[in-house]
Amino acid sequence: MSPPTLPALERFLADFHDRAPGGTPRAFAGLPVAPVAGGTGHADTYDALLDALCTAWPQLPPGPVLDLACGDGHLLARLQERLDPGTAAGRLLLGADLSRGELQAARAGLAGDVGLTQARAQQLPWADGSLAAVISHMALMLMSPPEAVVAELARVLAPGGRLLALLPLAPAPGEPPPPVYQALAAALQAAPRATPWAEVRFEGRRWRDPQTLTPMLAPAFDALHFTPLRAHSRWTPEATWDWLTGMYDLHLHPRAEAPGARARWLLGIAPHLDANGLLPLAHHFLLVSARARPFAELT
């Protein structure tokens, strides 16, 4: 469990992931994605992130590669599968996460020498300029305040080191969320928050929008590149609800509220089912690539 001195959001995240390690790959592994602008698709969001890392690999400075918010080690395991001994060149792989439960799962599942550490993104336990790359899958948007996290990433990355992150893409200003999420928000509106999580608030769109990411990253990073990705699912209402139960929203409320929320959600999405009784859903992601500036440019 998480110490009470952590901010409410971090206590919630640690508790959630302690109880259900591996939730992120259960939700996103195997969901094919493709660039919105066209081009080669990827097996899933993990594959998209690893493709970007492998492309950058020959230009990385010396040092380890850190998976920030590594969870149960799914991304690190897939990276290990890609790295032959010649490509790895003795480069150490590291993982950091808030959740002890996720780290226990990672230790049990990862092969070889991977350094796993319980840590916050705002206070990483590595020396200045010691890391060659930081990768992160569906996690930075949960970290607050963003400016403190960006400053810490800039501190630990060597000049020329890479930040590569996969995030949910914010909708365009004024664009409503997909009906699936509108119905979920409406279904949960009547449900009280669980007492421990009454003060939990998520960061919002600053991590998820290139327009706000650019001024946040630019003081410490150059070579900024944002690639919107898109996936499509078409599941039964029951399968979609099962997928949603792996998201954070439901777990901010007492378990006893779930059956009523499910019933209200099913009513809300009924008009959006297709002729086969399936529920279409577009998933939007953002692949972020940035290069750490030399220390001299930061002073």
Beta strand 114-118 with 65-68: parallel, antiparallel or unpaired? unpaired
Return left, alpha or beta for 129; rule: phi > 0 is left, psi -120 to 50 is alpha, else beta. Answer: left
* CATH superfamily membership of 8-171+202-232+282-298: Vaccinia Virus protein VP39 (3.40.50.150)
Q: Where are the alpha helices (DSSP H) in 193-257?
A: 210-217, 237-244
pLDDT of residue 89: 63
- Give CA–CA dist 4/15, Å, rounded: 11
CA angle 168, 96, 125 (to 5 degrees): 125
Among residues 72, 66, 69, which one has the least CA distance to residue 119?
69
What is the residue whose two structure tokens read 């590569």? 164
Confidence (pLDDT) at 204: 80
| pLDDT score for 1 | 41
Q: What is the pLDDT along the chain (299 residues), one digit of tens a residue?
A: 444 478 999 999 999 999 999 999 999 999 999 999 999 999 999 999 999 999 999 999 999 999 999 999 999 999 999 987 656 667 899 999 999 999 999 999 998 889 999 999 999 999 999 999 999 999 999 999 999 999 999 999 999 999 999 999 999 888 999 999 999 999 999 899 999 999 999 988 899 999 999 999 999 999 999 999 999 999 999 999 999 999 999 999 999 999 999 999 999 999 999 999 999 999 999 999 999 998 646 55
H helix intervals, the chain: 8-19, 23-28, 45-56, 74-82, 85-88, 100-109, 146-156, 179-189, 210-217, 237-244, 258-269, 295-298
Q: Is the dihedral of CA 208, 214, 220, 221 positive or negative?
A: positive
Give the CA radius of gyration of the chain: 19
Q: Which residue, among 199, 186, 229, has the nearest Cα to 36 in the 3D structure?
A: 229
Q: pLDDT at position 254, please?
A: 96
**Cα(136)–Cα(294) distance, integer angstroms:** 22
Model pTM above 0.85 = yes
**CA 123 vs CA 15, 107, 134, 158, 172: distances in Å:** 19, 22, 14, 17, 32
Contact (Cβ atoms closer than 8 angstroms) between residue 41 and residue 232: no
Confidence (pLDDT) at 295: 65
Q: How far is CA 280 from CA 44, 62, 137, 214, in A?
A: 18, 45, 24, 32
pLDDT at position 2 is 47
SS (H, E, C) 130-174: CEEEEEEECCHHHCCCHHHHHHHHHHHEEEEEEEEEEEECCCCCC
- pLDDT value, residue 151: 97
What is the number of H-type helices and E-type strands within the chain? 12, 8
